[in-house]
């Protein structure tokens, strides 16, 4: 599963500098800095409660860091709302699947195209003229995503009825439909069986290779993380304890301590 051909890894796409985040008395993140380069797969790992999801939420605008700076595409960001992050090309999936349960797979993925629809509001309301041909155009894009993820058979099924693994795949599809530059995946393989995990790994690698999408992912399965990511950042209690390529991180004593506790042989 590991990658052989070297892919073009570009300049820094996103830079996190000294980011801290607190909720009341709890400090979720303290002075975390790292960067994500264009075209790479970047993993964020750490024990439960290390602040991994908080980090993604800061990048995506759900949380505003109390201190520090996030630079995206060379521009320092002020306070940003999630829909603005989406407009800037950041798409994501969630740890606890956040799909529109009453809608079909197709409609769910269609919502991912929301920002790509440019026709005037007026035409949209009439659902006629230019808006109609636009709808068809977006439908085609969505069909490509559906083919890519091999979910043709569940196109019309309300997602609330799908098994867990497929729901995760639909959620990935919705994020892909937005054609993001930066894709954030929060535990894309949690709760999956081996076969589903392998499928998901394949999709992640394919997305990265075929579309050149930069991916930042949180994952607990160390085997998967070490296999697919280019670089890994490790958090513990809201602090960064290691950062580097998988081999180096795996050998880092601080990381081993964090995962096994101190006093191991």
Partner 1 sequence: MDAIFDFLFGPLKEIWAYPTFFVEVVVGGLLTGVMYSLVALGFVLIFKASGVFNFAQGAMVLSAALSFVGFTELGVPQWLAMLLTLAMMVALAFVIERVVLRPLVNQAPIILFMATIGVTFFIDGFFQMLWGEDVKRLDIGIPKDPIEIHGVLVNTFDIVAAVVAGSLVATLAFFFQSTRIGRALRAVADDHQAAQSVGIPLQTIWVIVWSVAGIVALVAGIMWGSKLGVQFSLALVALKALPVLILGGFTSIPGAIIGGLIIGVGEKVAEVFWAEKIGGGIEDWFAYILALFFLMFRPQGLFGERIIERV
Q: Which residues here bind partner 1, judged by CB under 8 A?
A: 60, 62, 81-83, 86-87, 91-92, 94, 98-103, 107, 110-112, 114-115, 117, 121, 124-127, 131, 135, 158, 160-161, 174-175, 178
**Considering beta carbons, is residue 128 or 202 the nearer one to partner 1?**
128
Rounded Cα distance, 150 and 153, in Å: 8
Q: How far is the CB of 112 from partner 1 (least distance, A)?
A: 5
**Considering beta carbons, is residue 72 or 255 the nearer one to partner 1?**
72
Q: How far is the CB of 256 from partner 1 (least distance, A)?
A: 34
Q: How far is the CB of 183 from partner 1 (least distance, A)?
A: 11
Rounded to the nearest 5°, which phi and psi values hold at 226?
-65, -35
Q: How far is the CB of 164 from partner 1 (least distance, A)?
A: 9
Q: How far is the CB of 211 from partner 1 (least distance, A)?
A: 18
3-state class (DSSP) for residue 185: strand
**Considering beta carbons, is residue 7 or 161 the nearer one to partner 1?**
161
Alpha helices, DSSP H only, in 178-252?
194-211, 222-228, 246-251
Rounded to the nearest 5°, which phi and psi values hold at 242?
-160, 155
Q: How far is the CB of 97 from partner 1 (least distance, A)?
A: 9
Rounded Cα distance, 65 and 29, in Å: 9
Q: How many CB atoms lie within 10 A of CB 130?
A: 14
Q: How many CB atoms lie within 10 A of CB 103?
A: 16
**Considering beta carbons, is residue 101 or 254 the nearer one to partner 1?**
101
**Considering beta carbons, is residue 90 or 255 the nearer one to partner 1?**
90
Rounded Cα distance, 188 and 172, in Å: 8
The secondary structure of residue 10, as a DSSP letter, is: -
Both tokens of residue 21?
């985040």
**Considering beta carbons, is residue 176 or 258 the nearer one to partner 1?**
176
């Amino acid at each position: 599963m590991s990658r052989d051909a070297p892919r073009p890894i570009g300049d820094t796409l996103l830079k996190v500098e000294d980011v801290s985040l607190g909720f009341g008395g709890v400090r979720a993140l303290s002075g975390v800095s790292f960067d994500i380069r264009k075209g790479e797969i970047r993993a964020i790992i750490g024990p439960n409660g290390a602040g991994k999801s908080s980090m993604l939420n800061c990048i995506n605008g759900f949380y505003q860091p109390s201190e520090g700076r996030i630079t995206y595409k060379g521009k320092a960001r002020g306070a940003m709302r999630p829909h603005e992050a989406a407009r800037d090309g950041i798409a994501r999936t969630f740890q606890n699947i956040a799909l529109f349960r009453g809608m079909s797979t197709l409609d769910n993925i269609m919502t991912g195209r929301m920002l790509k629809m440019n026709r005037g509001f007026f035409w949209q309301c009439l659902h006629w003229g230019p808006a109609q041909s636009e709808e068809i155009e977006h439908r085609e894009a969505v069909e490509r995503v559906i083919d890519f993820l091999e979910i043709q058979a569940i196109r019309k099924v309300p997602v609330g009825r799908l098994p867990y693994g497929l729901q995760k795949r639909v959620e990935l599809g919705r994020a892909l439909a937005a054609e993001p530059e930066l894709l954030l995946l929060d535990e894309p393989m949690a709760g999956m069986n081996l076969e589903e995990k392998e499928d998901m790994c394949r999709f992640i690698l394919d997305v990265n290779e075929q579309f050149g999408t930069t991916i930042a992912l949180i994952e607990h399965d160390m085997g998967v993380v070490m296999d697919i990511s280019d670089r890994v950042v490790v958090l513990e209690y809201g602090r960064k304890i290691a950062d580097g390529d998988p081999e180096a991180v795996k050998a880092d004593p601080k990381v081993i301590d964090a995962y096994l506790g101190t006093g191991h042989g």
